[in-house]
Amino acid sequence: MTSAVIDQEVSSTFTPSSQGNQLPARLFSKQSQALIYNYKEAAVQRMLDFDNVSQRDTPSVAGLIHPGSDGGFYKAFFGFKELVIPVFNSVKEACQACPNADVFLNFASHRSAFGSSVKAIQEPTLRTIVIIAEGMPENEARSLISMAKKNGKVIIGPATVGGIQAGAFKIGNTAGTIDNILACKLYRSGSVGFVSKSGGLSNEMYNVLSRTTDGIYEGIAIGGDAFPGSTLTDHVTRFEKLPEVKMIVILGELGGWDEYGVVDALKRGEITKPVCAWVSGTVAKIFPTEVQFGHAGAKSGGESESAEMKNKALKEAGAIVPQSFEDFSNAISQTYNKLVAAGHVKPVEEPTPPELPLDFKTAVKAGKVRKPTSIISTICDDRGEELTYAGVPISTICDEQYCVGDVIGLLWFKRRLPEYASKFIEMCLKLVADHGPCVSGAHNTIVAARAGKDLVSSLVSGLLTIGPRFGGAIDDSARCFKDAHDRKLSAEQFVEGMKQKGKRIPGIGHLIKSADDIDKRVLLLKDYAKKHFSSSSYLEYALEVEKYTLQKANNLILNVDGCIGVLFLDLLHSCGLFKKEEIEEIVNVGYLNGFFIVGRSIGLIGHALDQKRMKQPLYRHPWEDVLYDTTPADY
Amino acid sequence: MARKKIREYSSKSLLKQHLASLCNERLNLKMVQVQQGSLSLVELMTLPAHSWLQSTKLVVKPDMLFGKRGKNNLVLLNATVVEADQFIKERMGKSVTISGKTGPVTHFIVEPFVPHAVEYYLSVVAKRDVNTISFSSCGGMEIEELWDKVKSVDIAYGDSIDTVNLHEIVDNTIQNREYIIDFIKNVYKIFEELSFHFIEMNPFTLDQDGKPFPLDMRGEIDECASFKCGNKWMVDGDPIQFPQPFGRELFQEETFINDIDEKTGASLKLTLLNPTGRIWAMVAGGGASVIYADTVADLGYGHELGNYGEYSGDPNEEDTNKYASTMLSLATRNPDGRPRALLIGGGIANFTDVAVTFKGIIHAIKQYSDEIVRSNLHIFVRRGGPNYQSGLQHMREIGHKLQVPIKVFGPEVNMTSIVSMAIQHINTSPNIDPSTALKNHSNGNGNGNTNGNGSSNGNSPITV
């Protein structure tokens, strides 16, 4: 009954390098292009911005892969110009269309990164697969490692931000924003090869290296997992082979045995360039129990996995190892200065990176630009935690049981109407909700529904009949009656005046209803107004007019449109919430037909659903119902 | 999320259950778990499922993820159920010290006593490219001394167990050789199917029916695979528990942060080290957080370090606020008048929006401004990354506005330079009287800012 067996065993048989065959030395160039799976907009733009300051001729993003999409294109900036990047549905399609892209950048989640990475490994055109997701199961990572080995591919990650070859190619979000790239001079090549587990610290080290050396040639974050796809040793071995790299900087971490691979390579004399190394996690010894640090692979455990032992082994193998992280930059600086003194590092050319236009969103955030807005909206705000209608949160609307009339009050009139007014609006909606299948709106809806059109097409087909002859006379009648009433015309003057101009009076007359067959709807409206409105002078005026027109014909009654129109005038004038100019505006803008449109939509939807429910076939108007009176044209 | 050790009871439950379902192999494994605050052994034995407890001699062991139990007299062998119950009751909840780690014993495993002559050793370990199976006929407490008798074989990851010749590690001196090889193959199958990272049976033996019987078993599984294997990781019908390492009970604050961490795609970690410590660290980034803690220890102040903590992966404002509030609540809990420090540190972020995460922190500072002053806490900030300028600016402004001592730095200074500043503060700043600190503060004499640090204008870092 014992423990510590793992430690004893594994430390004697760890594998120093991921591949039996070593990785190719050169992974990226100024021509490298990537395919991005499950692309993140910010990452794409940051890659292209890097391309611009590095003066690349071609964008580093060749295509995007969005499984389940219909393909198409994605727009992003390449310097001042806008670039159109193709979007593909599958890895295979993307590889066929973009054979030059050899980097696969996988932003899929930890649940799905495995499947997409497997597909990428199988594509002959791809060589480097970068996996961003944190939390991939270790067995999936191990499967990918073994597949990559068989197929001669390189994996960076999982759980990484990626890496960067200064002035040539940048993976995803590596090195952050463009100002950081400029500050750390990552737009041009330096002579340090840097590798670490941590993406955040890589960026920190790019900053340190830009101050203590001529900057990085390449930096790789291998990721914090226990089994990274490529190891510290893999990349150190690559840096040894790259002639541009003059010195190697490693930032290791407690947990795992990867650093011992570097130790062995140093001992075997395979690494000849100066190596500055530091393994973090010396603090673990003061912790009373085992601690899981932020990275999955960073666990205080056996002694050989400790930071002290690894630092000691690296130092003994010939690496330059400081006393603490604080001394790391000094150690790097001294090593670099020796290389300069010995003439191994030539002074770097300092190109001036082209100006990059500030991204608009960034500039707004930073308060650096202003821009007139294109749209004003004054009724509804969806930006906060809760949606508001005219400033009233929807929770209040529900909690205090606002009715539909109240909501119309808020969104159309921008105020809370008194209860009787809201109820009146609802009453109008109810009364106009439907008027049978034969009226033109319902008929059209029925014909459209039977032609197999969807709900919204059927609805709109009916709504489009609303106009001066059908349901759309509320505004016009309000305008006419208001004008006549306010000018104090007598009923006779008004009617005869209209007649002289050859105009029908909107709101007067009905096809079917008459003085003998009273429209019940009009009665109900009039009764409600008499009971609740404090004034009804417009209604009374309209009834005077009706009296006069009925002398001419029995069906020239005040119809439902006209009645709603004049009653709204009474409501607006008597409720005390609207100024005179506001009432003018409401009538002129044409609010009131809205009641008919909203109300009748209820009925039209009902008709469309009714036809679909009954599976009614295509409607064809019968021949015998049409008078064919055609004369042959001359031909 | 990473590899997690599981209790012996859980390991054996998974083994028993899945040997039956995957390999059609039924072992004579019987065990019960006795937990603190739950049914006692004599109560458990009245349940029909556990009636065997009364008809057999028993073995009792603590099940707390520590080894060397025999060497520490924590194992009871060949006992009756009454003796076993007595043994557990005497030890339940009592503190023990194992390999320098101290903590109460809260879980016991009780199994049938199996008299045996042979003790075999078996382990399976996941490595980068291979799984390694190790076997020895000399298992038991002295395995470390007898390690040269252990034979191992590697199976390339993804290859079938049938590609290796297990006869090489199980030689012809072993009784029931073929049967044991079959057992190893079955264990290997479970290892793969259930995403184990490590299984060790030291020892296992053959029971009176000649069937393998693990006398002890340890297991580690890869918690990241829970979305694939979670439904197989069931113990007594419930999802498996991942206990804390021995000697480490979670504080309420750690559980709180753990819960948030599990719900978000970002990462939030908190480990309390010393609740009365005077240096607290809220550091962005898995890598940077380790380096800050290293630096505190390197400079000789590890004993004052209150916590290890980390937030990363672009957490939203609300989660960052909860994290920062928890940190401030911990850091200000012991207002003894002595100076203390909070490090809000971090490297240069790649994609975490510094302004957004700082908004959450600033909100927490507002909530705790009185406590900060009363506990003589100074805050030291260093951060870079997307929108860091506005994040740092807001941090400076809130310091001025609330007269809370905050020093703010960006990438122009070394990442860890604020550690020495914090140490200088806790060493050289005067003590305050916590009962009057707030009064003085609200009188506007800037008590919190009078230690000559020049407050928050962000220049001249102190280097050590």
Q: Label residue A347 by pLDDT band (50, 70, 90).
A: confident
Mutation site for A-interface testing, chosen from B61, B351, B413 by largest number of A Cβ within 10 Å: B351
Measured CA distances, B412 to A147, A368, B317, B457 (Å): 44, 22, 25, 13
The verdict on B429 touching A (C-beta cutoff 8 Å) is no
Query: Per-residue pLDDT tens for B400-409?
Result: 999 999 999 9
- pLDDT number for residue A2: 39
Q: Closest to B2 (Cβ–Cβ): which among A139, A175, A292?
A: A292
Least confident span in A78-87, A264-273, A281-290, B193-202? A281-290
- pLDDT number for residue A228: 94
Cross-chain residue pair A203–B284, CB shorter than 8 Å:
no
- Count of helices and strands (H, E) across chain A: 24, 16
Query: Per-residue pLDDT tens for A275-301?
Result: 999 999 998 888 766 677 766 666 555
What's the distance, CA A174 to chain centroid? 22
Listed by number, the residues of chain A in 311-330 with a beta carbon closer than 8 Å to a beta carbon of chain B are 323-326, 329
The verdict on A404 touching B (C-beta cutoff 8 Å) is no
In terms of CA atoms, which chain B residue is nearest residue A363?
B387
As a whole number, mean pLDDT of residues A224-244 equals: 95
As a whole number of angstroms, the distance between CA A44 and CA A50 comes to 10
The verdict on B216 touching A (C-beta cutoff 8 Å) is yes
Does A189-348 match A440-613 in CATH topology?
A: no
Chain B contact set for A137 (CB, 8 A): 195, 222, 224-225, 228
Cis peptide before A158 (omega within 30 of 0): yes
Chain A contact set for B296 (CB, 8 A): 283
What DSSP character marks residue A590? T
The mean pLDDT value of chain B amounts to: 89
Percentage of the residues of chain A whose pLDDT score is greater than 70: 95
The verdict on B146 touching A (C-beta cutoff 8 Å) is no
Q: Which residues pair with B382 in a beta bridge?
A: B409
**Cβ atoms within 10 Å of A48's Cβ, excluding its own:** 20
Q: Which domains are assigned to chain B?
A: 3-239 (3.30.470.110), 252-449 (3.40.50.261)
Residue A449 has pLDDT above 80, yes or no: yes
**Phi, psi (deg, nearest 5) at residue B379:** -110, 135
Query: Per-residue pLDDT tens for A157-178?
Result: 999 999 999 999 999 999 988 8
- CA gyration radius for chain A? 39
- pLDDT number for residue A296: 63
Parse chain A into domains and list their residue ranges. 26-159, 189-348, 380-432, 440-613
Q: Label residue A17 by pLDDT band (50, 70, 90).
A: very low
Catalytic residue at A607? no
Q: Kindly report the CA angle at A491 between A488 and A492, in degrees rounded to 5?
A: 115
As a whole number, mean pLDDT of residues A46-54 equals: 95
Cross-chain residue pair B269–A294, CB shorter than 8 Å:
yes
- Which single residue is written with the structure tokens 């007019």? A545
* Helix A419-432, helix A404-413: angle, nearest 10: 100
Residue B394 has pLDDT above 80, yes or no: yes
Query: Per-residue pLDDT tens for A543-553?
Result: 999 999 999 99
Cross-chain residue pair A176–B291, CB shorter than 8 Å:
no
As a whole number, mean pLDDT of residues A558-567 equals: 93
In terms of CA atoms, which chain A residue is nearest residue B143?
A2
Closest residue by Cα to residue B137 from B104, B106, B180: B180
Chain B contact set for A45 (CB, 8 A): none
Cross-chain residue pair A366–B387, CB shorter than 8 Å:
yes
Listed by number, the residues of chain B in 163-182 with a beta carbon closer than 8 Å to a beta carbon of chain A are none
The verdict on A352 touching B (C-beta cutoff 8 Å) is no
As a whole number of angstroms, the distance between CA B366 and CA B398 comes to 8
- pLDDT number for residue A221: 96
Q: Kindly report the CA angle at A74 between A72 and A75, in degrees rounded to 5?
A: 140
Distance between B287 CA and the closest CA of chain A, angstroms: 5
As a whole number, mean pLDDT of residues A551-566 equals: 92
Q: Closest to A299 (Cβ–Cβ): which among B2, B75, B312?
A: B2
Could you list the beta-strand ranges (E) of B212-252. Answer: 212-214, 218-222, 234-235, 238-239
Closest residue by Cα to residue A298 from A436, A419, A218, A198: A198
- pLDDT number for residue A297: 62
Percentage of the residues of chain B whose pLDDT score is greater than 70: 94
Residue B155 has pLDDT above 90, yes or no: yes
What's the distance, CA B309 to chain centroid? 13
State the number of CA atoms in the 13 A half-sphere of A223 facing the CB: 25
Q: Label residue A1 by pLDDT band (50, 70, 90).
A: very low
Q: Kindly report the CA angle at A122 between A120 and A123, in degrees rounded to 5?
A: 70
- pLDDT number for residue B158: 87
Closest residue by Cα to residue A565 from A497, A480, A626, A486: A480
Measured CA distances, B425 to A408, A477, A538, B339, B422 (Å): 62, 81, 81, 7, 5
- pLDDT number for residue B453: 40
Judging by DSSP bridges, how do beta strands B76-79 and B95-98 pair with one another? unpaired
Cross-chain residue pair A253–B386, CB shorter than 8 Å:
no
Chain B contact set for A18 (CB, 8 A): 128-129
The mean pLDDT value of chain A amounts to: 91
Q: What is the identity of the amino acid at B346?
A: G
Domain A26-159 has CATH 1.20.120.530: no
As a whole number of angstroms, the distance between CA A151 and CA A127 comes to 9
As assigned by CATH, the class of the A189-348 domain is alpha beta
Higher pLDDT, A483 or B142: A483
Q: Label residue A329 by pLDDT band (50, 70, 90).
A: very high
Query: Per-residue pLDDT tens for A23-32?
Result: 999 999 999 9
**Phi, psi (deg, nearest 5) at residue A241:** -85, -15
Cross-chain residue pair A283–B415, CB shorter than 8 Å:
no
Could you list the beta-strand ranges (E) of A254-308. Answer: 275-280
As a whole number of angstroms, the distance between CA A606 and CA A155 comes to 59
Residue B464 has pLDDT above 60, yes or no: no
Distance between A460 CA and the closest CA of chain B, angstroms: 43
As assigned by CATH, the class of the A440-613 domain is mainly alpha
- CB-based contacts of A265, cutoff 8 Å, min separation 6: A16, A233, A236, A237, A271
- Interface A–B counts its CB contacts (< 8 A) at 251
Residue A362 has pLDDT above 80, yes or no: no
Cβ–Cβ under 8 Å, residues B287 and A280? yes
As a whole number, mean pLDDT of residues B115-121 equals: 92
- pLDDT number for residue A149: 93
Residue A13 has pLDDT above 60, yes or no: no
SS3 (DSSP) at B355: helix
Residue A473 has pLDDT above 90, yes or no: no
Q: Provide DSSP, A354-423.
A: PP-PPPHHHHHHTT------S----SEE-SSSS-EETTEEHHHHHHTT--HHHHHHHHHHSSPPPHHHHH
Q: What is the identity of the amino acid at B287?
A: G
As a whole number, mean pLDDT of residues A569-579 equals: 93
As a whole number, mean pLDDT of residues A475-494 equals: 94
As a whole number, mean pLDDT of residues A395-414 equals: 95
As a whole number of angstroms, the distance between CA B107 and CA B32 comes to 10
The verdict on B158 touching A (C-beta cutoff 8 Å) is yes
As a whole number, mean pLDDT of residues B150-166 equals: 93
Q: Label residue B446 by pLDDT band (50, 70, 90).
A: very low
- pLDDT number for residue A20: 53
In terms of CA atoms, which chain A residue is nearest residue B144?
A5
What tokens were used for B245?
Answer: 């390492």
Q: Label residue B461 by pLDDT band (50, 70, 90).
A: very low
Cβ–Cβ under 8 Å, residues A204 and A198? no
- pLDDT number for residue A15: 42
Residue A214 has pLDDT above 60, yes or no: yes
The verdict on B353 touching A (C-beta cutoff 8 Å) is no
Higher pLDDT, A236 or B247: A236
As a whole number of angstroms, the distance between CA A294 and CA B268 comes to 8
Cross-chain residue pair B127–A146, CB shorter than 8 Å:
no
The verdict on B77 touching A (C-beta cutoff 8 Å) is no
Residue A512 has pLDDT above 80, yes or no: yes
Q: What is the identity of the amino acid at A184?
A: C
As a whole number, mean pLDDT of residues B89-113 equals: 91
- pLDDT number for residue B459: 39
Residue A633 has pLDDT above 50, yes or no: yes
Distance between B1 CA and the closest CA of chain A, angstroms: 6
Cross-chain residue pair B415–A203, CB shorter than 8 Å:
no
- CB-based contacts of B355, cutoff 8 Å, min separation 6: A365, B386, B387, B388, B390, B391, B394
Q: Closest to A201 (Cβ–Cβ): which among B285, B308, B390?
A: B285
Q: Closest to B202 (Cβ–Cβ): which among A1, A134, A146?
A: A1
Query: Per-residue pLDDT tens for B174-196?
Result: 888 999 999 999 999 999 999 99
What tokens were used for B400?
Answer: 């001025």
Active-site residue identified among A66, A235, A295, A607: A295
Listed by number, the residues of chain A in 168-207 with a beta carbon closer than 8 Å to a beta carbon of chain B are 173-177, 180, 183, 196-201, 203-204, 206-207
Chain A contact set for B463 (CB, 8 A): none
